[in-house]
Structure 1
Amino acid sequence: MAAAENVRLTYAFDAYCPWCYGFGPALRSFAQDHAHRVRLDIRSAGLYAGGRARPVSAYPRMADECERVTQLTGVGFGAGFAQALSDGTTVADSTAAAAGLAVLYSQADEVGVPHLAAAEAVQQAWFVNGRSLADPEVYRDIADGLGLDASKVSAAYASPAPWAQARADFRALRRLHVTTYPTLLLHTAHGADRLGSAASTAASLTAALDQCLAAAFSRPSFTQPPVSRGELS
């Protein structure tokens, strides 16, 4: 289906969201299978932003939620993460994580590293190693692991730009009425359709994609208003 090539998807996720972590392997496999036709735009969510950026001890159900994620997706959580939950002092700050990701994405574009690899590395830092995603050293270490320039990453993280990008991502997802994570959206001339759920497999995501595309191309198209640059361009 020629019209289905170069499909645009938005992935809304939060680096501190255990369900997004559980969804990661399925999304990675799906993205690899469809790399020839899918363009994945990853947007950070503000799950723990503003007044919700609090020590993890303020969220006592997080451990039970992670257990549920393991039951449904099979992903494992690391000893460092378990220790961080036990200590309870790490502040879950989605804005800091989103800023770090914005820096990594920018540097990754220069050397052709997929954004999804950077997002997974940030998730590993928290859900496996229990490292605070507000720690600039996390992004230096990830940069080294991905073959990026760690010094450039550190300098950029200390500048205002990635923090502004983090807030722009939050606004973009609100405009799409995304309130739960992970959310994978397919964009067509008819709007945005959600694909799958947190417990989806790569195969079920493929089936959902094909079904949505078939439905979209069977309907008359209409002209959408342009999207402001810097939001979902």
Structure 2
Amino acid sequence: MQLVYVFDAYCGWSHGFSGTLNEVASRHPALPVQVVSGGLFTGSRRVPIREFGYVQGSNAQIAELTGAEFGEGYERLIADGSFVMDSEAAARGVAALRQAAPAHAAKLAAALQRAFYVDGLSLSDPATYRKVAEEAGLDADAVVTAFEGAEARVAATADFHLSASLGVTGFPTLLAVDGDSVTPVARGHATADEVDRRLAALRTP
């Protein structure tokens, strides 16, 4: 069995789920976690953030429910409403980080979300990936080169297709995959204890 975490780096609920994912991963070190970008803001949804009027209210709800932090850097970035969340660029960054350290993909995804939601760094900016890579002890030059390369674009598209093929319709979604069996163990929000109970039920014959 493995866990497949389908998220979007520009999704506030995914940011809120980071703590749960890290706790689940630490409780089950032998359970691999595959991180997949879902592609929330692509195509016609790639517009200035002001067009999503629910963002501030939603973030307040996420913070209250999960304890997730929304920092001053983030508030400054989105203050005038002109910032465009581009999930394709973010997915390329996830792919570049994932390639550099596959076993740490979940922690790197969380670090990327902190870069945006706490520090207010654009996930379209190569400098953001340099910072995240350096802080994780990775080869920052290699990560930035990968982010800007063709392979990351292919990987991002593959992630979006995989998300759709798994039937994921909202982010974050955590799936337990065992052979051909795919079972959601969390959607939107869940505690680590809730995920544990659902995993235990799957393992009970």
Return the TM-score normalized by structure 2: 0.95
Find the counterpart in structure 2 of residue 86 from structure 1.
79
Q: Which runs of 4+ in 1 moved over 6 A?
A: none
Matches within 5 A, 1:199-210: 199-210=189-200
Q: 1:8 aligns with which of 2, 18, 37?
A: 2
Is 1:179 the counterpart of 2:169? The answer is: yes
Q: 2:69 aligns with which of 72, 76, 81?
A: 76
Question: CA offsets per residue over residues 16-40 of structure 1, 9 Å max, x none?
Answer: 000011011011011100012x111
Matches within 5 A, 1:28-43: 28-36=22-30, 38-43=31-36
Alignment: residue pair count: 205
CA distance in 2, matches of 1:64, 1:91: 18
Amino acid corresponding to residue 12 of structure 1 in structure 2:
V
Secondary structure, in 3 states, of the residue corresponding to 1:114? helix
In the TM superposition, residue 188 of structure 1 has moved relative to its aligned partner by 2.3
Structure 1 gaps of 5+ residues are: 1-6, 219-233
Amino acid corresponding to residue 198 of structure 1 in structure 2:
G
Going from structure 1 to structure 2, the CA distance change for 1:189 and 1:160 (only over 3 Å counts) comes to: closer
Find the counterpart in structure 2 of residue 161 from structure 1.
151
- Maintained 8 Å contact 1:69/1:75: yes
Amino acid corresponding to residue 122 of structure 1 in structure 2:
L
Please, what is the CA RMSD of the aligned residues?
1.3
Find the counterpart in structure 2 of residue 142 from structure 1.
132
Find the counterpart in structure 1 of residue 21 from structure 2.
27
Question: CA offsets per residue over residues 30-82 of structure 1, 9 Å max, x none?
Answer: 1100012x111110011001121111111121111111111211212101111
Amino acid corresponding to residue 57 of structure 1 in structure 2:
R
**Larger relative contact order (Cα-Cα within 8 Å, sequence gap ≥ 6):** 2
Structure 2 gaps of 5+ residues are: none
In the TM superposition, residue 87 of structure 1 has moved relative to its aligned partner by 2.0
- Maintained 8 Å contact 1:63/1:85: no
CA distance in 1, matches of 2:168, 2:10: 16
Return the TM-score normalized by structure 1: 0.84
Find the counterpart in structure 2 of residue 229 from structure 1.
none
Secondary structure, in 3 states, of the residue corresponding to 2:176? strand
